[in-house]
Structure 1
């Protein structure tokens, strides 16, 4: 499985390229950057022994040795680059969030399915062994009565934002903000377990340029309410708890890594703790799973993953728009 990595930002430098060192099933065959970032791409290529550097996307897509592209670019261009890759017959690994709107996600999913291409969203938690434990233990909790999730992490870019230097993560024109960047993990966790909510609303803290620097997402299900807090302007201990009539479980630590899971059932005076993730880097499990699915021809797993991606984006977009957060893509649609 030969992969072209698109981008030179944090998720590429600290995320996929280091993780790939533990995934021999996938070869980093090329790296792409816009011309202004060519020097960064060349340095990463030297560091990780990547044989080819591209600054022309059409040229990369014409490379017959490349099977997959990993899109680690700014949120707002995920749709554009993903569509071009699919039309060129390439399989796609899309960094979260999948795209900016549900319509974009739906179109990409339909295109991938029509062309029988493999398309994955890189949401780490869904492929971690500790998440599988949660799915296995969930029925033991009985009727679910409450879900709480908190992923709060003071952004390394927030001080610049306060000084008026707006990086992509805080730029509404580029589909940034806390809901799409960090609370999206809480949303994937909850939708992955319980499906799409009947209702969703978002109560954000809005910054000077109209972006959400933090916020609370409230999702209504038939028997319970799920509350998901995501913050880039402050920090606190991170966790997710699921409460049921017969017990509770807790995911310990940041939801994107799920370092441990604790389960306690009524009638037991003990809490069982699971720590089954096998790799220090949180992205290794998902990359190995993508390689397994591809090699096994397990297209049903592709379809299941895309169903979750679409349900998550439908919920996120509805909540974002209800809160009055306007992205650049929204303006483009209105003008069109």
Structure 2
């Protein structure tokens, strides 16, 4: 993979701490705004990034790249993924893929028409621990209840209360607890159970944005609650309960560092089969293989999952009368 990174924020900084472990991915370019130049130059020095750009058209035309990693703020995902696909580049797009299903459908059609790989960077779907958990789900019998809580008080909420609206709390920029934190829980659940039959979102809405909320997903045999908050905090944990046992994940569902399996009448079993400490390693390892092999079938399978997740998001936002963008 010959990669261009679009963005220079915290997710890019985190990504770059891992990418040296995947030497088959060539860091040929990074693109950001003029204000990002000092940071991009630092990234270039530390991680041997070939070229820096502040103009997207120039980057797409001149850089020696076949793939773009869109790591920009939420509201820019659709715009820049579309530009990249139109330029004939494969696209890895940070979560949430887009702000709504209509945007995602347009990108999906564009990628298919151009025979390009388009995937969402959503860590939990690629983790060995997650795949192991999916297998262990069969041991729980009939899954009755799932509860996920990803609550993390944000210092940006203090600024929000003081009247300064940063992107994570700006509905025009795709902000809010659902898109920032609960999106991981949605991916976690939909990856295990598929698309729900009903969706309701009970949100605490301040100035048009959900600062916290409770998402209820209804399945014929399973009831799911996904909690996310940026205005308060609690222990971050997820529990899957069946009539023959349960699985408990301590920590966020985008990391899935390990989990405990508790079968009825038996001792707890601690499970940890991760292959790398960094949560992004396995997804980019698979993205590289997918792009090198031009595996459109694998990309379609991943897209089907992302489409199901985005439909949940659409319904949840509509249910809470929240409009993004």
Q: TM-score range by the shorter chain?
A: over 0.9
1:137-171 Cα distance to aligned partner (Å, 9 max, x none): 11121211111001111224222222222111110
Query: What is the rounded CA distance, in whole Å, between the counterparts of 1:233 and 1:119 in structure 2?
Result: 33
SS at match of 2:279: coil
SS at match of 1:277: coil
Aligned to 1:218: 216
Query: What is the rounded CA distance, in whole Å, between the counterparts of 1:311 and 1:98 in structure 2?
Result: 12
Give the Å deviation of 1:271: 1.4
Give yes or no for the alignment of 1:31 onto 2:20.
Answer: no
Alignment of 1:79-118 (within 5 A): 79-118=78-117
Alignment of 1:48-67 (within 5 A): 48-63=47-62, 65-67=64-66
1:77-112 Cα distance to aligned partner (Å, 9 max, x none): 110100111111100010000000111111111211
Give the Å deviation of 1:64: 5.6
Match of 1:316 among 298, 301, 313: 313
**What CA RMSD, in Å, does the superposition of the two structures yield over aligned residues?**
1.3
Query: What is the rounded CA distance, in whole Å, between the counterparts of 1:166 and 1:43 in structure 2?
Result: 28
Give the Å deviation of 1:71: 0.6
2:29–2:49 Cα contact (<8 Å) kept: yes
Give the Å deviation of 1:56: 0.9
Aligned to 2:180: 181
Give yes or no for the alignment of 1:47 onto 2:60.
Answer: no
Query: What is the rounded CA distance, in whole Å, between the counterparts of 1:184 and 1:200 in structure 2?
Result: 14
Aligned to 1:243: 241
Aligned to 1:120: 119
SS at match of 1:310: helix
SS at match of 2:62: coil
SS at match of 2:99: coil
Aligned to 2:2: 2
SS at match of 1:278: coil
Query: What is the rounded CA distance, in whole Å, between the counterparts of 1:127 and 1:146 in structure 2?
Result: 24
Give the Å deviation of 1:43: 2.6
SS at match of 1:218: strand
Aligned to 1:334: none
Give yes or no for the alignment of 1:271 onto 2:268.
Answer: yes
TM value normalised by structure 2: 0.96
2:153–2:232 Cα contact (<8 Å) kept: yes
Give the Å deviation of 1:36: 3.2
Query: What is the rounded CA distance, in whole Å, between the counterparts of 1:111 and 1:263 in structure 2?
Result: 42
Aligned to 1:150: 149
Match of 1:280 among 274, 277, 280: 277
SS at match of 1:206: strand
SS at match of 1:249: strand
1:25–1:288 Cα contact (<8 Å) kept: no
Query: What is the rounded CA distance, in whole Å, between the counterparts of 2:302 and 2:44 in structure 1?
Result: 30
Query: What is the rounded CA distance, in whole Å, between the counterparts of 1:221 and 1:64 in structure 2?
Result: 47
Give the Å deviation of 1:69: 0.4
Query: What is the rounded CA distance, in whole Å, between the counterparts of 1:274 and 1:178 in structure 2?
Result: 29
Query: What is the rounded CA distance, in whole Å, between the counterparts of 1:154 and 1:12 in structure 2?
Result: 22
Aligned to 1:230: 228
SS at match of 2:231: coil
1:205–1:213 Cα contact (<8 Å) kept: yes
Query: What is the rounded CA distance, in whole Å, between the counterparts of 1:251 and 1:133 in structure 2?
Result: 12
SS at match of 1:110: helix
Give the Å deviation of 1:299: 2.4
1:76–1:174 Cα contact (<8 Å) kept: yes
Alignment of 1:186-197 (within 5 A): 186-197=185-196
Structure 2: tracts of 5 or more residues without a match: none
2:28–2:63 Cα contact (<8 Å) kept: no
